[in-house]
Amino acid sequence: MPGRPKNSLGPLVLFHGCDKDVAEAVLSGQATLQPSENDYDWLGNGIYFWVDSPERALSWANLRRSSPSVIGAFAYPGNCLNLTDYGVMNELALAYEATLGISAAAGTPLPVNSVRENGQKAYDTVYGVFEEGELVYPGAGFRDRTHVQIAIRNPEMILGYFRVDGMT
C-alpha cells in the first residue's frame, strides 16, 4: 500500500494570541514568533496558531497576557501530520508501538519528537482538533471551546503576517 499523501492541506489562515508588543514587533519585521516548547504542548514543539478563529486566539491571550493581542498569518502546512485525516490514528498507534518496543529492548526512555527515523522527512506542521469545554447542550457531541490548532515546526511554512482589525 502506498504511503499516505503528504501536503494534503492547502494554505491556511491562522491566528496567534500574544502580547501587543510581540504582535507589533512581528508585524514590523523586527521579530519572529518563537516556538513553544512546553511539556503540555499537545501538538509538540512549534509556533501555535488557531485555525480560522481570531476570537479563540484573543480569548487565550486575554487569559495569559498583560496586554493581549492577536496577529494573523498565512501558512502552508507543508509536510503535515494531519491528526484529522482518516487513518492517521492507525499510523500514529503503529509508530508508538514500534517506538515503545525499541525503547524497551534498548532499556532507554521513550524519545521526544525531535529525531526522524528511516530517512523520513521531518513534519513541518502538526494539525489537530482539540475538544475542550462544556457540552453545548445535554447529550451533545460538541463542546463550547473545541478548536482546531496547528503547530508550525518549520517557520519557513509561514508565508506572512497581517494585522487583525480590533485585535492589535
**Each residue's pLDDT tens digit, 101-155:** 998 999 988 766 554 555 667 889 999 999 888 999 999 889 988 899 999 999 9
Q: Hey, what long-range contacts does 140-144 have (CB within 8 A, 24 or more apart)?
A: none
Q: What is the pLDDT of residue 4?
A: 46
Per-residue model confidence as pLDDT tens digits over 37-90: 888 888 889 999 999 999 999 999 999 899 999 999 999 999 888 888 877 888
Record the cell numbers describing residue 37, joined without a space: 516548547
d(CA 125, CA 48): 10
- Quick one: pLDDT at residue 86? 79
Which three cell numbers mark 99? 517506538
Q: Which three cell numbers stand for residue 157?
A: 511554512
- C-alpha to C-alpha distances, 6 to 39, 84, 100, 127, nearest whole angstrom: 27, 13, 25, 13
Q: Helix, strand, or coil here: 22? A: helix
pTM more than 0.85? no
